[in-house]
Structure 1
Amino acid sequence: MINILMVDDEKNIIKGMAEYFELSKLAIKTHIASNVDDALGIIDNHIIHLAFVDIVMPEAGGFEFLKYLQERHPKCHAYIWSGLNTTDTESAAIFHGAKGFIGKPFHPDEIVEIVEAYIDNQG
């Protein structure tokens, strides 16, 4: 079973994606957090294989969280998603260790494709 973490203060995004994954036939478990503190609790209690993290959130940002995630789960494939759709933001995401950048708004199928590719590469 693949554990996926989605962190975003826009709750409709993470809840919508969690529902989308529930309808899929993928062997995954989704964990959602609307802030970094909740996300830290999740990664301290679960092995996370894939993470999708927003950059701009209250209290702490996605890049700060990404650093802790990489220390705790170095094999985790983390992606940054953000409404800050610039080449500088995308470059910063990669610099901070993200496997990729997804600009908002995005279609749920974009995320599903990443998850499916991860699953295919694990087999």
Structure 2
Amino acid sequence: MIRVVLVDDHVVVRSGFAQLLGLEEDLRVTGQFSSAGQAWQTLLGEDVDVAVLDIAMPDESGLSLLKRLRQQRPGFRAIVLSIYDTPAFVQSALDAGASGYLTKRCGPEELVQAVRSVGTGGHYLCADAVKALRGGEPGPTVLSELTPREREVFELLVKGDSVKEIAFKLDVSHKTVHGHRANVLGKLQCGSTIELVHFALDNQLLAGH
């Protein structure tokens, strides 16, 4: 029996995965959590064979959580879940110690296959992730989804500037900054500015890191 823990702040996604995996005789979902903090103690336990971790969570990114877990449990096995399949996102997950990578476009059978593979000591990359890694896109970056202005807003946000300060520096309205901020958070799968800072730290995008 492969024991699975799901960590995703979207209850619809989490419950859907739980129902799907529950249909398989050799898989059992033993825990469901909406944040890294809630899941931490359970994931440290010996009765977890594989975790499915969303990258974007309200308190800490899935990649940061995975790195901390592997410091405590070097053999910890996890599948990282993301809406993105760019080479940089996939590589960041593998560098953090992920044994599998799925996008949220994956089909039900692919989720089951990934959990079985990772839960029995193997690895699994969805077709989109494999294609991204083999694509050889020149100089991919985790910020490639952002427009030049969104990149500016991102850099100022992670430095700690407020919306008011950013509006003054860029000579635009507060409403415009809020719009750019929303786009940045959406494209980078972050739920808040704090999570955006975690994202920047995870991907070494802050000066001095």
Same fold (TM over 0.5): yes
Residue aligning to 1:79? 79
> Match of 1:107?
107
In angstroms, what is the RMSD of aligned CA positions?
2.0
Higher strand share: 1
Q: Distance in 1 between matches of 2:99 and 2:118?
A: 11
**Distance change (3 Å), C-alpha of 1:82 and 1:73:** same
Deviating runs (4+, > 4 A) in structure 1? 118-122
- Which has the bigger relative contact order, CA under 8 A and spacing at least 6? 1
Q: CA offset at residue 52 of structure 1?
A: 1.1
> In structure 1, how many angstroms separate the alpha carbons of the residues matched to 2:58 and 2:7?
12
In structure 2, C-alpha distance between the alignment counterparts of 1:46 and 1:120, rounded to whole Å: 15
Say whether the 8 Å CA contact 2:44–2:69 is kept in structure 1.
Answer: no
* 3-state secondary structure, aligned to 1:109: helix
- Structure 1 window deviating more from structure 2 (87-96 vs 64-73): it is 64-73
**TM superposition shift of 1:45:** 4.2
Taking a change above 3 Å as real, the CA distance of residues 120 and 80 of structure 1, as seen in their structure-2 partners, is closer
Superposed, 1:12-23 pairs within 5 Å as 12-23=12-23
When Rg is computed on C-alpha atoms for both structures, the one with the higher figure is: 2
Instruction: Look up the SS of the partner of 2:97 in the other structure.
Output: coil
Name the SS of the counterpart of 1:79 in structure 2.
strand
Gaps of 5+ in 1: none
Range with bigger deviation, 23-32 or 79-88: 23-32
Q: Is the 8 A contact 1:18 1:30 kept in 2?
A: no
Deviation, 1:54, is 0.9
1:1-123 alignment, distance < 5 Å: 1-118=1-118
TM-score (norm 1): 0.85
Percent identity over the alignment?
27
CA deviations on 1:93-119 (whole Å, 9 max, x unpaired) are: 111111121111221211211223345
Code of the residue aligned with 2:110 in structure 1: it is: E
Partner letter of residue 102 of structure 1? L
TM-superposition CA deviations, 1:59-104 (whole Å, max 9, x none):
1111111012212332222111101221110011111111121111
Q: TM-score, normalised by structure 2?
A: 0.53
**1:75 and 1:34, CA in 2 relative to 1: closer, same or farther beyond 3 A?**
same
8 Å contact from structure 2 (residues 77, 119) kept in 1: no
Give the Cα–Cα distance (whole angstroms) in 1 for the partners of residues 69 and 51 of structure 2. 9
Task: Supply the AA of the counterpart residue of 1:9.
Answer: D
Q: Residue 6 of structure 2 contacts residue 29 of structure 2 at CA under 8 Å; is this kept in 1?
A: no
Q: Give aligned pairs, total.
A: 122
